[in-house]
């Protein structure tokens, strides 16, 4: 008898961050993970994670809505269905529930984890096989204080943890942000790559001024300077400057990738399993982006270890990641809910080995950090 899905449990897990993390739209002191435990009739449990940033400040799904929508609408579409029929189950979710990309990503991850455990292979193997077992990982400097950011970068360079840094800007006046970035780049010099993420905070005219100054300061990549839906503006900015632009909020899935390519965008694309409704959708976007000549970047929604590992399994199957990855989410959190954390070293992280995601839950930690039902 092929296994069927028996139950799906969702938990809200609040983990404090190691320091305040300041983005253009919010400052985070805590990250809320939505953890999925999907139990199957053959005794296998699949784990998934759906995580966003700052409640509703980053996008239309909040941790609470992800949990509610899985519990009320999505889980009932899966219960009793064959566990290994992942293509069928994903099509079923998409045909009966619109949007909810993060919730669907958590469920797809749990399906892949369970199927990998069932077959004794990794999620990367299910996705066609890993081409890399160690992936580069940058660090985000976002303490809100220039001196603290420089000290943090020096420490991580020293520890051989990270050699590329992404600075979160856009919350302050553009001249102040440019001074902050230029001071950090000047302090680090050629020892580190410095990029910025504006998280949609500028209008086009401000972006023209800001990007020109950041380019002069030696910044190597400018992420999402203007609002997500302004594809034409992004194309104009990419044409205007030598420094490459990275599309993040502007591109969620393969369809967006095609729209951006058709509009004439030249630059790079941030892949995130949360934006593309799961690892398979993120890899579909990667194919479109690659065909369009866009550089690839493995992005994060600051997930914990489960979501980060799911992303790593997907990114490991790609030949080239021109801009590396930012899969540092677990390092921003004070604690973990898995027994063996990911192994970060030599400016990157190892792909976890073992069946499925290659992770096991620490039940005591999970019980400690889970919000009471
Ligand atoms: C984003 O917009 O890229 C990634 C790193 C970080 O600090 O925030 C995220 C979200
Ligand atoms: Mg971004």
Structure ipTM: 0.98
Q: What is the pLDDT of residues 102-150, one digit of tens each?
A: 999 999 999 999 999 999 999 999 999 999 999 999 999 999 999 999 9
Q: Could you tell which of 196, 197, 332 is best to mutate to test the pocket of ligand 1, judged by most ligand atoms within 8 Å of the CB?
A: 197
300 Cα nearest atom in ligand 1: 4
What is the reported pLDDT for 1?
Answer: 86
Q: How many CB atoms lie within 10 A of CB 183?
A: 15
Q: How far lies 84's CA from each of 3, 116, 118, 314, 354, in Å?
A: 8, 10, 9, 18, 18
223 Cα nearest atom in ligand 1: 3
Domain count, the chain: 2
For position 163, which CATH number holds? 3.20.20.120
Domain encompassing residue 290 = 126-350
Binding site membership of 300 for ligand 1 (Cβ less than 6 Å): yes
Binding site membership of 51 for ligand 1 (Cβ less than 6 Å): no
Look at residue 355 and tell me if it is in a domain. Answer: no
Give yes or no: residues 193 and 340 share one domain: yes
What is the reported pLDDT for 56?
Answer: 97
Query: Active site includes 152?
Result: no
Give yes or no: residues 21 and 160 share one domain: no
Contacts 24+ apart (CB under 8 A), 125-133: 127/279, 127/280, 127/283, 127/313, 127/314, 127/317, 128/317, 129/317, 130/313, 130/316, 130/317, 130/351, 131/316, 131/317, 131/318, 131/319, 132/315, 132/316, 132/351, 133/316, 133/350, 133/351, 133/353
Give yes or no: residues 63 and 173 share one domain: no
Binding site membership of 109 for ligand 1 (Cβ less than 6 Å): no
Q: How far lies 169's CA from each of 27, 74, 213, in Å?
A: 12, 36, 14
Collapsed DSSP state (helix, strand, coil) of residue 17: strand
Q: Which of 104, 117, 168, 275 is catalytic?
A: 168
Look at residue 178 and tell me if it is in a domain. Answer: yes
Query: Active site includes 326?
Result: yes
CA distance 247 to 171: 19
Give yes or no: residues 110 and 160 share one domain: no
For position 102, which CATH number holds? 3.30.390.10
Q: Which residues of the chain have pLDDT under 70?
A: none
What is the reported pLDDT for 58?
Answer: 96
CA distance 221 to 196: 7
140 Cα nearest atom in ligand 1: 7
Taking the model in full, what pTM does it have?
A: 0.98
Give yes or no: residues 136 and 107 share one domain: no
What is the reported pLDDT for 64?
Answer: 98
CA of 26 to the centre of ligand 2 (A): 13
Binding site membership of 52 for ligand 1 (Cβ less than 6 Å): no
Look at residue 88 and tell me if it is in a domain. Answer: yes
CA of 200 to the centre of ligand 2 (A): 9
Give yes or no: residues 276 and 338 share one domain: yes
Give yes or no: residues 146 and 239 share one domain: yes
Binding site membership of 303 for ligand 1 (Cβ less than 6 Å): no
Give yes or no: residues 100 and 49 share one domain: yes
What is the reported pLDDT for 18?
Answer: 98
Give yes or no: residues 163 and 38 share one domain: no
Give yes or no: residues 101 and 151 share one domain: no
Give yes or no: residues 286 and 198 share one domain: yes
Residue 2 burial (10 A CB sphere; 0-12, 13-18, 19+): exposed
Q: What are the two backbone dihedrals, phi and then psi, of residue 195, each rounded to the nearest 5 degrees?
A: -130, 165
What is the reported pLDDT for 66?
Answer: 98
Look at residue 357 and tell me if it is in a domain. Answer: no
Give yes or no: residues 171 and 225 share one domain: yes
What is the reported pLDDT for 373?
Answer: 82
């Amino acid at each position: 008898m092929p296994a069927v899905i028996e139950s799906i449990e969702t938990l809200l897990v609040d983990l404090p961050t190691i320091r305040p993390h300041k983005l253009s739209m919010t400052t985070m002191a805590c990250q809320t993970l939505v953890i999925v435990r999907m139990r199957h009739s053959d005794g296998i449990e699949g784990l998934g994670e759906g995580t966003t940033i700052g409640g509703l400040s980053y996008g239309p799904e909040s941790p609470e809505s992800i949990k509610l929508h899985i519990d009320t609408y999505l889980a009932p579409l899966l219960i009793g269905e064959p566990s290994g029929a992942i293509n069928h189950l994903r099509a079923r979710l998409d045909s009966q529930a619109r949007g909810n990309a993060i919730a669907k990503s958590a469920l797809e991850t749990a399906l892949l984890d369970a199927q990998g455990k069932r077959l004794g292979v990794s999620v990367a193997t299910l996705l066609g096989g890993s081409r890399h077992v160690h992936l580069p990982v940058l660090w985000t400097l976002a303490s809100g204080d220039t001196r603290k950011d420089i000290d943090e970068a020096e420490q991580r360079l020293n520890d051989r943890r990270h050699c590329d840094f992404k600075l979160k800007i856009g919350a302050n006046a553009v001249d102040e942000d440019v001074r902050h970035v230029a001071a950090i780049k000047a302090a680090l010099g050629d020892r580190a790559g410095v990029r910025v993420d504006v998280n949609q905070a500028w209008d086009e005219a401000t972006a023209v001024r800001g990007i020109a100054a950041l380019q002069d300061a030696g910044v190597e990549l400018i992420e999402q300077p203007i609002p997500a839906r302004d594809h034409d503006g992004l194309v104009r900015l990419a044409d205007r400057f030598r420094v490459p632009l990275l599309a993040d909020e502007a591109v969620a899935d393969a369809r967006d990738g095609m729209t951006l390519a058709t509009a004439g965008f030249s630059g790079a694309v941030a892949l995130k399993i949360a934006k593309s409704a799961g690892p398979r959708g993120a890899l579909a976007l990667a194919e479109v982006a690659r065909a369009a000549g866009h550089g690839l970047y493995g992005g994060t929604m600051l997930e914990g270890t489960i979501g980060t590992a799911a992303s790593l399994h997907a990114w490991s199957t790609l030949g080239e990641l021109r801009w590396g990855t930012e899969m540092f989410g677990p390092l921003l959190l004070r604690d973990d809910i898995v027994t063996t954390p990911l192994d970060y070293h030599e400016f990157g992280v190892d792909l976890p080995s073992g069946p499925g995601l290659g992770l096991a839950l620490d039940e005591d930690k999970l019980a400690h950090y889970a919000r009471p039902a």
